[in-house]
Amino acid sequence: MINQNRQGGFVLRMVPVLLWLISGTCFWEGLNAQHRPNTQQIKPALEHLSQQAGLSDNFITSVLKGPHGFVWIATRNGLNRFDGREFRIYRKDSQNPFSLGDNHLKCLLKDAEGRLWIGTNAGGLFTYNAVKDHFEKQPLSEDSSTTHPVTGINALAEDPQRNLWVGTSGSGLIRYDRKQGTHVVYKHNTLNKNSLADDMIRVIHVDKDGHIWIGTDSGLDLYNPDQDTFSHVQFLKSLSDNFRLGVQDIYSDQNGMLWLATITGLVRFNPRDGSARLWRPVKNFKENHEYNRITAIERASDGTLWIGTFSRGLFLFDMETFRPVPLDQITRQSLAENGFISSIYKDTSGIVWIATGKGLYKKIPHPSVFRNWTHAIGAGKFTSDVVWPLLEDHNGVIWIGTIAGLNRFDPHTGVVTQYKKEDGLSQNAILALCEDSRGNLWIGTFNGGLSRLEHSNQQFTNWYFDANHPESLPHNLVSVLYEDRMGELWIGTAKGPARFDRKQNRPVRLIFNASGASLNDQYIQGILEDHLGNLWFTTSKSGLFMWNRRENVVKQWTYDPLNPHSISANDLTDIVELPDRRQAGHYLIWVGTESGGINRYDPQTDQFRAFTDKNGLLSNSINSLLADDDGQLWMGTDRGLSRLNTRDETIRTFDERDGLDNAHFNPWAKMKSRSGALYFGSSAGIIAFNPHDLAKMESRQSYPLVFTGLDVLNRPVESGTPLLPQSISTTDEIHLNYRDYIFTVRFALLDFTKPDQVLYVYKMEGLFNEWLPIGNQNKVDFTGLSPGSYTLHVKATNRTGKTFEHEARLRIFISPPYWETWWFRSALALLTGMFFFILYRMRLRRILEIQHTRDRIARDLHDEIGSNLSSLSLIGEVMGTRPGLDKEVREAFGDVHQAARHSVDALRDIVWFVNPMSDSLRDLVARMQATAQTMLSGTVYDFDARITDSVRKILPVVKRNIFLMYKEILNNILKHARAEKVRINVLTEGKHLILTVTDDGVGFNPESVQPGNGLSNLRERACQMKGELDIRSAKGKGTRIRLSVKIT
């Protein structure tokens, strides 16, 4: 499918030739109009802006380039700020004291300080505050003794003393001294001949000498500053005295002449001698007819003026000949004889802004670099204006192949010689030209085979395709001719390549027996010999071929959609080889295509890189390639010229807005002269220019890059709001919060010539540091950025291909939610610390209370119960030894004594458990050692304690369980083990206490022993403390019990 479409592309390129061959040259003009490329998407040199494009109103009253390089457009329904792409509209807002006081605007002025002044119809005079992006009303009144605000402001001007002059509709003239804040009102006084001639002021003009001229409905006045009076200037005295010559606009030229726009025509007035001359657009009407009314004057170029009229449109006027000169076709059709023009403004870049009642026209200046060389030679001198191949021979003679014959132009004599079929040429439709090393001219035709014009006798010899002779030309369509460095002539046809055999004096078909791909039957579009001697062939539908003649190998490259480094299309056109300007000694192959732009092939990597309209090309259809003396690559396309800088690979484009008469360039129609000038053929002749002249012009151009708008949550943010306290064009930073998770920053390079061809790159410092290209899109969207500090950097490449060194920067601060702020986190940490401190204090107080309670209980047990039990024990002991008691009573008293003594011992343990003063590890070990001494008094034992941090506190419950388990173990030894020796080891390991008790008693089998309270109590207490209890015993081998428990 791809190949079919691309083959169809070639057929479309040849349609004009086919139809000409069928119908004859007389039908070419209609054919050319029919097959001219669709230019609806190509913006013309005269661009129309209206409400459809975003203007607030179609009736334009004034235009001015104001602060920061924006274009300001005053209308009858609001003020517009234009950045080349988008309009921002300012209107009256009764709720906003800093808005305009009226939507009907009449004039604009930028003063010496760059401040913008706006005159309204009914709202007074305003200035624009660029920092705050709002308007401030100026305190002017119709009379210096009253406060009634001035209305109907028609004109504004500033004199050398920085006074502001305000012309009104019926309220006279006002001089506003901004330094003093005072103003003086001048009005017409019938009793004073030195007053204004009329209170209806139309224009105020300050000439280069500082003279102030006032145009009114009654003529022209000159202000006399010494007397503070006015002189009425008479001109065109030949007109009747009762005819009022209202002056609408004034322009002073470099010679001091005043050009006056009057209701009766254009007047050139000489203030020195009072002479004047009148030009009327329509002479057969009386002087005051609306057809002759001039409304606007502006300088066009040296020696010409733009003239706007009330009902006859636009004129270009030659000041020297004092007559209009023809307008270009687009301007003539759009503006000549087409209604009312209110004002004309030429900005610093040369763009002319034409205000009308039907919108605004932007006329882009044509640089003098491009010229129609065909028109310069003379109309009708060539066989046709439809130019195909071009060639400059060794004598400097230029050969032009057209659809209707061959042309020879001698630049020394200016003579054009035509050659056609009747002169011996094989066919009139010329596709290819080549001069060989012998000076002979070779001509390839559309369907007439090959011709040679002999240098010696100026005779033609022709060769054709002959189906009966296989060794003839492969096809009669000869598309390309190329002579290599060895003098071999190569011929590209619609059925493969051929070589001209000079010995046999005939073309010889190339039948490839080489390994690899085959060139047989391929439609050849271009031939190139590279620096290594390899031959390259471009084809119409089969991609790129390279024939290595030394190794006799043919290699083919075709489009592969799965390979991003393949060639971008199979329908190839032209081919050139250029040194790599970034790597010495390295060469690159550049290949044009009909649908895939231009490709750069690097033989070292065997990879292609495509440049398309996404990279800035006007069109993806490349008809011709040509390198200039600086190594820059020029491309003729169906929509204009494109230039690729092979060093930095930036692209600049040229179309009608750059002065090209026709932007549709034909295939193979290109030539570089020995002087370095470039020639490209189009359907309307030959365009010639010198790239060096263009480079000089480009070096003078510079444009500001500014931020133009901010959207938050998909809504525009107005200046003067908390998010945007001042204009984004003047601010260095903006502050957002975490809720503004979607925001858009807009920007513009204020190049009004070709804003659609400006390319942007940006990076967001703090998010990423790589420059990202975004094409012609003049905004960047951000979503879900984390709170923090960022810096947005933006750069632009304009139509000249020049990336400006300066860049626009905007710092962006995104505040976090309150729970992520430092102060909230600090407060939270402080509150958390206070909370835990309070908990600690409460726990400490509770512990102290428990300790006090335990201490009190211990004292009470010791003092009360212990004392009573000791007394009871003593009574039992005394009564048991008392004489006279029988044995039974004595034994009873002995039992009382023993029970009381055991209770005292148990009570001591309980007091020790409860007493908080005995909660240290040292107290536990001491208690265990004392208990062993008491219980094992009749047994040999060894008590070994190895503890660290003896003052360490132990939980009371742990202390109690350890001690009770210890006593239970000793008690079991005494009752059951019949041991002779006991070993007790107490040691600490980290936070654990390890108790080991070993005896040499009779032992037992732990698996066969009946469960009893002793072992059960030991295991239960160990489980309560989450400790480890290990009991090892065997009959006749004693017992070892080991307890490991965490004590802190």
Q: How confident is the model at residue 904 (pLDDT cuts 50, 70, 90)?
A: low
pLDDT of residue 20: 41
**Region 216-233 average pLDDT:** 94
pLDDT in tens, 702-721: 789 999 999 999 999 999 88
- Triad 403, 390, 383: Cα angle to 5°: 35
pLDDT in tens, 353-389: 999 999 999 998 766 688 888 888 877 889 888 889 9
Q: How many C-beta atoms lie closer than 10 Å to residue 663's C-beta?
A: 28
Coil, helix or strand at residue 716: strand
Q: How many C-beta atoms lie closer than 10 Å to residue 437's C-beta?
A: 11
Does the pLDDT at position 659 exceed 80?
A: no
Do strands 304-309 and 294-301 pair parallel, antiparallel, or not at all (unpaired)?
antiparallel
pLDDT in tens, 564-608: 999 999 999 999 999 998 888 899 999 999 999 999 999 999 999
pLDDT in tens, 162-189: 999 999 999 999 999 988 888 899 999 9
Residue 572 CA, chain-centre distance (Å), reads 33
For the residues of 773-794, what is the DSSP string, one character each?
EEET--EEEEESPPSEEEEEEE
pLDDT of residue 807: 87
**Region 1009-1027 average pLDDT:** 78
Coil, helix or strand at residue 962: helix
Q: 1006: closest CA among 1020, 997, 993, 1019? A: 1019
pLDDT in tens, 820-875: 888 888 999 999 999 998 998 888 887 777 767 666 665 655 556 655 666 666 66
pLDDT in tens, 19-51: 444 343 333 333 333 233 333 344 457 889 999
Q: Which residues contact residue 531 at a Cβ distance below 8 angstroms, ignoring those fewer than 6 apart?
A: 577, 587
Which of 147 and 748 is assigned the larger pLDDT?
748
Q: Cβ(1047)–Cβ(987) under 8 Å?
A: no
Arithmetic mean of pLDDT over the chain? 86
Which of 866 and 553 is assigned the larger pLDDT?
553
pLDDT of residue 520: 79
- Distance (Å, whole) CA 1047 – CA 986: 13
Q: How many C-beta atoms lie closer than 10 Å to residue 831's C-beta?
A: 10
- Distance (Å, whole) CA 247 – CA 265: 10
722: exposed, middle or buried (C-beta count within 10 Å: 0-12, 13-18, 19+)?
exposed
- Distance (Å, whole) CA 472 – CA 314: 62
pLDDT of residue 330: 73
- Please name each of the domains of the chain with its CATH number: 237-363 (2.130.10.10), 371-698 (2.130.10.10), 705-820 (2.60.40.10), 920-1048 (3.30.565.10)
Per cent of the chain over pLDDT 70 is: 85
- Distance (Å, whole) CA 558 – CA 516: 14
Q: From residue 769, how far is each of 60, 374, 791 by CA, in Å?
A: 44, 51, 10
pLDDT of residue 5: 40
- Distance (Å, whole) CA 651 – CA 330: 27
Q: Cβ(794)–Cβ(747) under 8 Å?
A: yes
Q: Which contiguous run of DSSP H or E holds residue 177?
A: strand 173-177
549: exposed, middle or buried (C-beta count within 10 Å: 0-12, 13-18, 19+)?
middle
Q: Which residues contact residue 823 at a Cβ distance below 8 angstroms, ignoring those fewer than 6 apart?
A: none
Q: From residue 322, how far is each of 268, 304, 309, 312, 457 by CA, in Å?
A: 9, 9, 16, 18, 54
Does the pLDDT at position 199 exceed 90?
A: yes
Q: Buried b vs exposed e over 255-293: b needs ≥16 C-beta within 10 Å?
A: eebbbbbbbbbbbbbebeeeebebbbbeeeeebbbebbb
Q: Cβ(808)–Cβ(705) under 8 Å?
A: yes
Pair of tokens at residue 82: 């234009």
pLDDT in tens, 677-702: 999 998 778 999 999 887 766 655 67
- Distance (Å, whole) CA 634 – CA 515: 35
Q: How confident is the model at residue 399 (pLDDT cuts 50, 70, 90)?
A: very high
Q: 567: closest CA among 529, 538, 528? A: 538
Q: 258: closest CA among 225, 223, 211? A: 211
pLDDT of residue 656: 79
Does the pLDDT at position 155 exceed 60?
A: yes
- Triad 1022, 1024, 1026: Cα angle to 5°: 70
Per cent of the chain over pLDDT 90 is: 55
Q: From residue 528, how far is each of 148, 481, 532, 611 by CA, in Å?
A: 81, 10, 11, 21
3-state class percentages of the chain: helix first, strand second, coil last, to nearest 5: 20, 40, 40
> Model-level pTM?
0.69
pLDDT of residue 514: 54
